[in-house]
Structure 1
Amino acid sequence: MSRAQCSRCLRPQTHCLCALIPQLDSRTRVLLLQHPSEVGHALNTARLADLGLLNAELRVGEVFEDLATLLNPPGYQARLLFPGEDAQLIDTGEPSDESLPWLLVVPDGTWRKARKLLHLNPLLAQLPRATLPEGAVSRYRLRKAPGPGALSTLEAIVQALEILEAPTSFAPLLRPFEALIEGQIEAMGADTYQRNHGDKTV
Structure 2
Amino acid sequence: MPRPRCPRCTRPPNHCLCPLTPHLPSRSRVLILQHPSEERHALNTARLAQLGLENAELRVGEVFDELPALLADPAYSACLLFPGDEAQPLVPVLPDARPTLLVVPDGTWRKARKLLYLNPVLAGLPRVALPEGLTSRYRLRKAPEPGALSTLEAIVAALDILEAPARFDALLRPFEALIEGQIAAMGEETFKRNHGDLREDR
Aligned counterpart, 1:13: 13
Aligned counterpart, 1:118: 116
Aligned counterpart, 1:42: 42
Distance 2:61 2:50 in 1: 15
Decide whether the 8 Å contact of 2:139 with 2:198 is kept in 1. no
Distance 1:74 1:18 in 2: 33
Q: Which residue, 153, 156, 169 being the options, matches 1:155?
A: 153
Per-residue CA deviation, residues 149-196 of structure 1 (Å, 9 max, x unaligned), is 100000000001001111111000000000010001101111111111
Q: 1:189 to 1:78 in 2, by over 3 A?
A: same
Write the mapping of 1:125-136 to structure 2, written as runs, cut at 5 A: 125-136=123-134
3-state secondary structure, aligned to 1:112: helix
Aligned counterpart, 1:66: 66
Q: CA deviation at 1:113?
A: 0.3
Write the mapping of 1:90-129 to structure 2, written as runs, cut at 5 A: 90=90, 92-94=91-93, 99-129=97-127
Count how many residue pairs are aligned between Structure 1 and Structure 2: 199
Distance 1:179 1:51 in 2: 15
Q: Which runs of 5+ in 2 are unaligned?
A: none
Q: TM-score if structure 2 supplies the norm length?
A: 0.94
Q: TM-score if structure 1 supplies the norm length?
A: 0.94
Per-residue CA deviation, residues 50-69 of structure 1 (Å, 9 max, x unaligned), is 01000110000000011111
Q: Which runs of 5+ in 1 are unaligned?
A: none
Identity across matched positions, percent: 70
The letter for the 2-side match of 1:85 is D
Q: CA deviation at 1:74?
A: 2.9
Q: Which residue, 176, 179, 192 being the options, matches 1:178?
A: 176
